[in-house]
A and B are shown apart, each in its own frame.
Chain A
Amino acid sequence: MIKYIIKRILILIPVLIAITIILFTINKMMPGDPVRAMLPTSLKADQYENAYNAMYQKLGLDKSLPEQYFRWVTNMLQGEFGWSSKNNRPVADVVAEPIRNTVILNIGVILLQLGIAVPVGIRCAVKRGKLYDNFWQVFSLITWSMPSFFIALCLLFIFAAQLGWLPFGGMPNAALTSGWAYYSDWLRYMVLPVVVLSLISVASSIRIVRNAMIDALNQDYIRTARAKGLREKTVIYSHAFRNALIPVSTVVVATVFSLFAGSTITETVFAWNGIGKVLIDAINSRDTMLVSTMNTFFALVSVIAVLVSDIVYGLIDPRIRLE
């Protein structure tokens, strides 16, 4: 197993190098000039030219593309993620708070998603073809098919505009509230975005759990367990669910690693200061360094997620272990 893990990690290196080259190239091909986008238009032509040249050099844009690439990669390896042209400050400073906010939001989403998907998926499999199962099948089809902004606007209309129970969007303010009030504010602001993101993701999760459970429940060992007179709960949770865990583990691992992935649309609709919103702002502002760094980070998280997923397979099912 250790040998397998080391081998997989070594494979990651060329993959990541290829990804960084592709991302860097794509970003450099984007039209528009990041320096122009960041300089104030109040400057006169000659002042502008001086400021432009100074910033052009500061961002390292006067270097050749290979030089820029190697500088960027080596700096990243040393923990320096470059300079955001849109924000005129280090990339690390720009993304620190949004990443924290996205992780907090996604923890809520994961808890709600798994909290609903696993029990509902199991129950759907057990009650296959019945009203309960049909309801969740239709429900998941609808939520999966609807765009997130539409769900968001519907919920805003009901819970914020009509009932006034929850805020339209934004984030809590630590300067005005403290202690319990501050944390409760977090929850208030989180409810709607968490529900929107959960509704979208829960649909596929329910179906995966349901299908895995149906497969498991059709196995001979389940019939044997029932023939032995075991309680139905024991059959379902101890025998069937454990064997259904492999596909479910994929969902769980992917979900956990999606902690860092921002949702551009939902974060924008709810003015949640998360990483998805930062990314789209960066793209619109031609902030190539910020976009490249963030996409590299997401790529790294993705390949690690795949690696962990494979390892978890092996742990759950010894038959899959690759010796």
Chain B
Amino acid sequence: MKHTTRRFLACLLALTMMMGCVAFAEEGSTKENTLIVGSPTLNGDFIDDFGNSAYDNWVKILLMYYCGTMQVAGNGEIVQNPMVVENLETATDDAGNKTFTWTIQKDLKWSDGSAITAQDYVAYVLWKASPEWAATGASSNVGEKFLGYKPYVNGETQVFTGVKLIDEYTFSVTVDAENLPYYWESSLATVSPIPFKAWAPELTIASSDEGACFEQDREAVQAAMNRVAQTERFKPTVVCGPYTFVSFENGNVTLKKNPMFKGDLDGNTPKLEYVVVQEVPSDTDVDMVISRDIDLVPGNVEGRKIEAAKASETTSLHSYLRYGYGMISIICNWGPTADPNVRWALAYLIDRNEVLNYCLGGYGGIVHGLYGYAEWAYQEVGDELEELLTPFSLNVEKANELLDQTEWKYEADGKTPFDASKAKADGSYMRYNDKGEMLTVRHMGTAGLDTTDSIEISYAANAPLAGLNFTVTKSDFNALLDNYYYSYELSDDEKLYSTFNMGNTFGNPNDPYDSWHSDFYGTWQNACQVNDPELDELIMKLRSTEPGDEDTFLENWLAFQVRWQQILPQIPLYSNEYFEVFDYAVKGLNTSPFHEWPYEICNIYKVADSEAAKEITTY
């Protein structure tokens, strides 16, 4: 028995060692020419309009992103793509509609070697805006600013007025006058291609002065789109990005260099033959970089992991501040938090530095409004903004002053004025209104999140000192969605929670209209249910600034920021510092708040261990 056990263990050990030596056995794929990126679970949707996964999105970027007429540069600027665009002409008609006529380069190719033509760009709009595409379960807002969008998307017509195919390499899109003027105007006119011939060889496009359309009937269009939604979506065969799709198996996506790819904004093509996005355990992902099993884990925020990576000799780090923040979102149209003084009191009752240290080990920054440090407007007028905004921090006295101006200024009898000096941490002396209702704010946070715990700790210590009863309920994210985004659907009895801890990453362009304008009051977009005419006016002034008029834009931006902070529908808690943790042999990874690693893929390369050196850099 003893001998058998020993033999078994010896064989197992030998087998394990042998196995360790035979990884990357296939010719072509070596550790030197492959970038292995650690990721949480991928859903497996690899074309746009399906799924919410940020990790699937990495793959989508590598496969299809690079052929748009406009692109976001590393500094966040939206620029014309010189690899794609040969010429752009604009013209405005009498009604104020603006037509962008794009001429694309003639040497663009799909990964199968076929030419990328203007038809592929026109097909992109017709395809994604069509009701047939939505019927497959896809969700897209492509073309929404173009002339004739509504009748097309609603299925009233098959002709899309705002899109025209002019010749093999020229097409136009017309932005509806109702969306103009718009400061980020060029972003409205950006168009990308789809591999139309590969996806739907049976379909053709007709174009006239009236617009463009698929020539076939709706049934044929639907059949083609169903096919794409059931096949290409999971295994894209023809792409235009720097990498082609090889496989998605066992949670690993493997991509191979696309030899037909022309280049990124700077004309660079990929240097690494393979990219693998590999599902790894989130608890040990950074350890896997340190042990050199994988090459990169992007977007780390946990202090423990960052310290471990810093301590490793074979691990490099690159960091940038998030273009967004973690915050407490506040419902502004019912309950105590409908009063701005209560919202401001909440802001004065939390120690944000404590939250930052508790959640992120101090890796991050604190903002006082709806902006990010990397935002160009902040870079331009950040100092002025800081002077205009009120920098709030833990201040119980100030919170009491503000709450004294609300209806909750009495003791339990609803008559005797509340005396802040009697308030105790045990919550035995609280604020009431004249109806005898206690000042209570119910918070809902995702269970298991450090932010939820730190909010609970902070308010448990401070809120009773201002006579405020702050309760925390921990739930899963779906319940949070129901109570936060869809609070407007709840009956009065169901409305319990008025504050939520959430995360927010700004869009690019960062147009506040969609989230804060009263046009979206009573919808999920304006989740905080802000309805402020002054803010509406400032938003409209901001977005309708003439393109290129930076001075006016910045002036409007400052005014918007000030008003937003006065309303305070969110209490920004921290802006995370994201750390890319990667093997010291990996070079060229200069990510920014606007460019995650897939956007930088053409700059990334590997050096031999003998040339590798640990680096710690910041954007």
Contacts and interface: CB of A to CB of B under 8 A. Distances in A.
Contact of B16 (A156, A172, A191, A277): A191
Contacts of B20: 165, 188
A222 interface: no
A37 interface: yes
B490 interface: no
A277 B280 CA distance: 13
B246 to A, nearest CB: 5
Given A31-B482, A33-B482, A174-B247, A41 B25 contact: no
A88 B274 contact: no
Given A179-B25, A184-B19, A187-B19, A97 B50 contact: no
Contact of A177 (B26, B41, B52): B26
Contacts of A156: 284
Interface string A157-199: 0001100111111111111111111001101100100000000
Interface string B272-293: 0010101111011001100101
A226 interface: no
A176 B134 contact: no
B19 A175 contact: no
A257 to B, nearest CB: 24
Contacts of B476: 32, 284
A286 interface: yes
Given A179-B25, A180-B22, A172 B482 contact: no
B609 interface: no
Interface stretch (A234-242, A245-253, A266-274): A266-274
B491 interface: no
B281 A270 contact: yes
A50 interface: yes
Nearest to B478: A32
B479 interface: yes
A179 to B, nearest CB: 7
Interface string A85-100: 0111100000001000
B276 A165 contact: no
Contacts of A55: 137
B524 interface: yes
A40 interface: yes
A97 B249 contact: yes
B91 interface: no
Contacts of B276: 173, 175-176
B239 to A, nearest CB: 16
Instruction: Bin the interface of chain B by size.
Output: 35 or more
Most chain A CB within a 10 A radius of its CB, from B18, B22, B34: B22
Interface stretch (B200-208, B250-258, B551-559, B610-618): B250-258
Contacts of A185: 19, 22-23
Instruction: Bin the interface of chain A by size.
Output: 35 or more
Interface in B451-496: 476-479, 481-482, 485-486
Interface string B518-532: 001001110000000
Interface in B34-69: 34, 41, 43-45, 49-52
A204 to B, nearest CB: 21
A89 B141 CA distance: 21
Interface string A104-126: 00000000000000010001000
B144 to A, nearest CB: 7
A169 B281 contact: yes
B395 interface: no
B45 A172 contact: no
Contact of B134 (A38, A51, A187, A188): A51
A140 to B, nearest CB: 17
Contacts of A101: 250
A36 interface: yes
Contact of B520 (A45, A88, A277): A45
B334 interface: no
A168 B280 contact: yes
Given A32-B479, A47-B139, A161-B287, A178 B280 contact: no
Given A169-B280, A184-B19, A31 B478 contact: yes
Contact of B22 (A36, A166, A181, A268): A181
Given A37-B478, A169-B281, A180-B22, A42 B287 contact: no
A50 B482 contact: no
A185 B25 CA distance: 10
Contacts of B278: 170, 173
B254 A36 contact: no
Given A54-B134, A187-B19, A164 B478 contact: no
Contacts of A167: 288, 293
B34 A176 contact: yes
A128 interface: no
Given A45-B520, A281-B41, A176 B29 contact: yes
Interface string B4-28: 0000000000011111101111100
B291 A181 contact: no
B569 to A, nearest CB: 17
B284 to A, nearest CB: 4
A58 interface: yes
Given A44-B514, A166-B16, A169-B284, A123 B1 contact: yes
A173 to B, nearest CB: 4
Nearest to B44: A87
B135 interface: yes
A188 B254 CA distance: 20
Given A33-B482, A269-B281, A273-B251, A187 B15 contact: yes
Contacts of A171: 250-252, 279
A37 B153 CA distance: 23
A88 B137 contact: yes
A123 B598 CA distance: 58
A168 B292 CA distance: 11
Most chain A CB within a 10 A radius of its CB, from B16, B18, B284, B287: B284
Nearest to A36: B481
Contact of B52 (A32, A38, A97): A38
B478 A47 contact: no
A113 to B, nearest CB: 15
Contacts of B274: 176
Contact of A50 (B34, B134, B279, B288): B134
Given A40-B139, A176-B34, A177-B24, A168 B279 contact: no
A285 interface: yes
Contacts of A144: none
Contact of B287 (A38, A39, A160, A277): A160
Interface in A49-107: 50-51, 54-55, 58, 86-89, 97, 101
Given A36-B486, A172-B252, A178-B25, 12 more contacts: A36-B481, A45-B520, A45-B525, A47-B153, A89-B234, A171-B251, A176-B29, A177-B29, A184-B22, A188-B19, A268-B281, A284-B477
What 9 A-B pairs have minimum CB-CB distances, sorted nearest first?
Answer: A32-B478, A181-B25, A171-B250, A175-B254, A45-B523, A184-B19, A169-B281, A273-B251, A173-B252
17 contacts: A32-B479, A33-B482, A45-B524, A48-B524, A58-B137, A87-B51, A161-B284, A164-B291, A168-B288, A175-B249, A175-B276, A184-B15, A184-B19, A187-B19, A188-B16, A273-B279, A286-B478
